[in-house]
Structure 1
Amino acid sequence: MKNAAMNYTKEKEAISTFLGNFTQVLNNGETNAIADFFDREAIFIPDGMKKIIGANQLGKTGNGYLKRTDFKIGYAIESITIENQFAFIEAFAATTENRISDLKPVPKRSIDFFVLKKENENWKIYRYIFNNVRELEVM
């Protein structure tokens, strides 16, 4: 029993590190590296936008959007549940990006849900959806 608990803790730490690395790639605007975090059969459903299917489509999105808007994100992980080769992560995200029209920073909050899939000892994003994006009032 002790081994199973240690392994579960180790996997949760690996998932937290994985999401930290994903955050860093987004914050650095490394568009070409984004697809590496997604499973080849991934589905990404951003709030209010068309869903994107397949990791190969993810690197083609944005067209420099992350750098152009100086997009930044941080995740606060609420819970991680692991079942066999899948992990389910509930998180809150805080983002800022510069509005294209006036370059003023726009902070937002959202609820994010990830399903990760483990293949060959590596976690990959299998499903990613976020919603309830709220623009925060800037004082």
Structure 2
Amino acid sequence: MRILVIAILLLSAQSFQNKTEMQSTNQNQIKMENSAEKASIENVLYTYGDALNTADVSKVLQVYTQDGVFMPTTLPTATGTEQLKESYSNIFKTIRLNVKFNIEEVLVNGDVAFARTSSKGNVIINATDQSMPEENREFFLLKKENGEWKISRYMFNKSE
């Protein structure tokens, strides 16, 4: 009987160790997958920042989903490709941006993610050529569209 109890304890210990090793392997795999997803998302955000700094409406539209929503401070919400195109075209006629994004947080859950960023630089008013400091906090909701990360919802507000 004593030998049977010892054998059961040894088998239980081995089973627990195998389960722990499998969980550790699965967690490492998830972290690696999330790292790749985060890198893709960061690339989208930096592409968006570049599009802002070059006033490139086409590039802006490439990083949005077809039903994307842009909620700028003090301006109307733009929904869908046509409204996004109109909104960004009007913005770029009015101002030029030179800002740098700082990605503060990216959380991924399946085919949906959110990113929290801040940006800092300057804005030039096209009508007067006046330059002013520009500093914002941004929130992006991203989702996969045809296997690629895209901006689904975006809003920002002034940092100060």
When normalised by structure 1's length, the TM-score is: 0.85
Separation in 1, partners of 2:88, 2:49: 16
% identical equivalent positions: 24
Q: SS in structure 1 opposite 2:76?
A: coil
Structure 2: gaps (5+ residues) = 1-25
Number of residue pairs aligned between Structure 1 and Structure 2: 134
The RMSD of aligned alpha carbons is 1.9
Structure 1: gaps (5+ residues) = 135-139
Q: SS in structure 2 opposite 1:105?
A: strand
Separation in 2, partners of 1:96, 1:29: 14
Greater shift, 91-100 or 110-119, is seen at 91-100
1:124 to 2:150 alignment:
yes
- Following superposition, the deviation at residue 102 of structure 1 comes to 3.1
Q: Which has the higher helix share?
A: 2
Larger radius of gyration: 2
1:46 to 2:67 alignment:
no
Equivalent position to 2:125, from 99, 107, 111: 99
When normalised by structure 2's length, the TM-score is: 0.75
1:113 to 2:142 alignment:
no
Which residue in the other structure is 1:137 paired with? none
Separation in 2, partners of 1:67, 1:24: 17
8 Å CA contact 1:113–1:128 kept in 2: the answer is yes
1:13 to 2:13 alignment:
no
